[in-house]
């Protein structure tokens, strides 16, 4: 009888003894639900740079990864925060040369003046020194103001001599030479010579000779602007937005440009009986398919003026007077 009453008393007190445990479980469940708990998280990997940190966590209740550089691990009694910072050790040393190489490339491209759209006058100098016409110009008597030079220089490369102030540049472009004839005459040629045949009719509205070719420069280039590079990683990190400006840069380049002409065309237009007529001829006209020209260019900021004088004649030897091409103009649009 005594044992029976004792057992009944124990059953009556059992709910009271379980209340703290139930309350604690309820609190843990609520906290986990509100924080989207991932129970029993056993491994967390935090990567930084080329290395990594692996942390083993037993029975993690809550894991929160905040935006930025902080990882927070919430356990039952503690919050563990992992804050990532840039280390002054191997990572900084490894990243600085890469960043420095990128800045050097950016500076080199900025202070190279070849790539762009060029427009100018296309003419020649005759043996007597006259430009574009005269008795020693042979078959070509030019309208200099309407004879145009156009070049699209689409690729450039420069080797610096230890500094951006001086370097050797090369590149690639395509050029269009238009010789607008001023006389009402037709160009003709044979294996021995190129000559012009005067005529009264028809009256030509267009009478031009055109060449298209690829061009490659080789020039020494000089720049006056200062464009300092960071000396070390500390100076680089002190100025994250490191950049250069060529606003007040005076630049000068001199050298040669080699051209190879792959297309030649002679074109005439006139009106007959109220109808527009035209004639084209793709003959060679004894023009040399290549040219080597001395080139000089100078400018300030983004403005660039140039002049090219041919070191080789326009025509094959003996087929026409020794005419030397001359191009003078400016860069309309720079591509860098």
User: Looking at the domain assignment, is residue 29 inside a domain?
Assistant: no
Same domain for 48 and 193, yes or no, is no
Same domain? 175 vs 237: yes
What percentage of the chain has pLDDT greater than the value 70?
Answer: 76
- Clarify whether residues 67 and 183 are in a common domain: no
- 63 shares a domain with 133: no
Cα separation, 165 vs 186, whole angstroms:
50
**Is residue 28 domain-resident?**
no
* Least-confidence region, from 7-16, 63-72, 138-147, 240-249: 7-16
Residues 48 and 110 in one domain: no
Domain boundary, last residue among 85, 114, 142: 85
pLDDT average, residue stretch 120-144: 95
What is the rounded average pLDDT of the residues 247-265? 95
pTM of the predicted structure, to 2 decimals: 0.69
179 falls in which pLDDT band (50, 70, 90)?
very high
**Is 114 found in the same domain as 73?**
no
Quickly count: other Cβ atoms within 10 Å of residue 217's Cβ.
Answer: 23
Specify whether 201 is located in the same domain as 314: yes
Q: Is the pLDDT of residue 325 over 60?
A: yes
How far apart CA 180 and CA 274 sit, in angstroms, is: 24
Q: Tell whether 32 is covered by a domain.
A: no
Same domain, 194 and 73: no
- Last residue in a domain, options 85, 112, 139: 85
Q: Tell me: pLDDT of 158 over 60.
A: yes
Full residue range of the structural domain in which residue 62 is found: 40-85
* Residues 48 and 156 grouped into a single domain: no
Co-location of 117 and 253 in the same domain: yes
Query: According to the model, what pLDDT value does residue 236 have?
Result: 78
* b/e sequence 119-153, b meaning 16+ C-beta within 10 Å: ebbbbbbbeeeeebbeeebbbbbbbbeebbbbbbb
| pLDDT tens, position by position, 32-91 | 444 344 444 444 544 444 444 444 444 444 545 444 456 777 777 778 877 766 555 444
**pLDDT higher than threshold 80 for residue 113:** yes
Identify whether 168 is part of a domain: yes
- Quick check: 235 pLDDT over 70? yes
What mean pLDDT do residues 109-132 have? 94
Judge if 79 and 188 occupy the same domain.
no
Reading the block at residue 280, the tokens are: 């084209």
As a whole number of angstroms, the distance between CA 217 and CA 253 comes to 11
User: In this predicted model, which residue has the larger pLDDT, 72 or 134?
Assistant: 134
Catalogue the E-assigned strands of the chain.
41-48, 51-60, 62-65, 70-74, 79-83, 116-125, 148-160, 166-180, 185-189, 194-198, 204-223, 250-272, 275-281, 290-300, 303-310, 324-334
């Amino acid at each position: 009888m005594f044992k029976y009453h004792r057992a009944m008393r124990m059953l009556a007190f059992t709910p009271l003894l379980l209340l703290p445990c139930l309350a604690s479980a309820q609190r843990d469940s609520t906290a986990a639900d509100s924080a989207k708990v991932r129970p029993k998280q056993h491994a967390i990997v935090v990567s930084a740079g080329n290395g990594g940190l692996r942390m083993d966590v037993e029975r993690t209740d809550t894991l929160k990864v905040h935006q930025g550089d902080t990882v927070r691990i919430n356990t039952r009694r503690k919050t563990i925060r992992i804050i990532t910072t840039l280390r002054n050790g191997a990572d900084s040393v490894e990243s600085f040369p890469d960043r420095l190489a990128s800045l050097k490339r950016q500076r080199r491209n900025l202070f190279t003046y070849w790539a762009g759209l060029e427009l100018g006058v296309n003419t020649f100098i005759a043996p007597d020194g006259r430009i574009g016409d005269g008795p020693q110009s042979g078959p070509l008597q030019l309208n200099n103001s309407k004879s145009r030079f156009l070049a699209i220089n689409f690729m450039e490369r420069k080797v610096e001599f230890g500094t951006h102030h001086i370097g050797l540049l090369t590149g690639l472009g395509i050029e269009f030479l238009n010789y607008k004839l001023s006389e009402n005459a037709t160009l003709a040629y044979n294996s021995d010579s190129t000559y012009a045949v005067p005529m009264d009719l028809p009256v030509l509205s267009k009478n031009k000779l055109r060449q298209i070719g690829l061009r490659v420069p080789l020039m020494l280039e000089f720049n006056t602007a200062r464009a300092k590079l960071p000396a070390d990683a500390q100076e680089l990190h002190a100025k994250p937005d490191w950049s250069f400006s060529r606003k007040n840069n005076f630049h000068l380049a001199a050298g040669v440009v080699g051209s190879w002409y792959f297309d030649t065309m002679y074109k005439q237009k006139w009106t007959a009986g109220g109808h527009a007529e035209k004639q084209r001829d793709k003959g060679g006209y004894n023009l040399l398919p290549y040219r080597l020209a001395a080139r000089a260019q100078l400018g300030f900021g983004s403005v660039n003026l140039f002049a090219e004088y041919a070191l080789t004649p326009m025509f094959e030897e003996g087929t026409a007077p020794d005419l030397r091409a001359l191009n003078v103009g400016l860069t309309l649009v720079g591509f860098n």
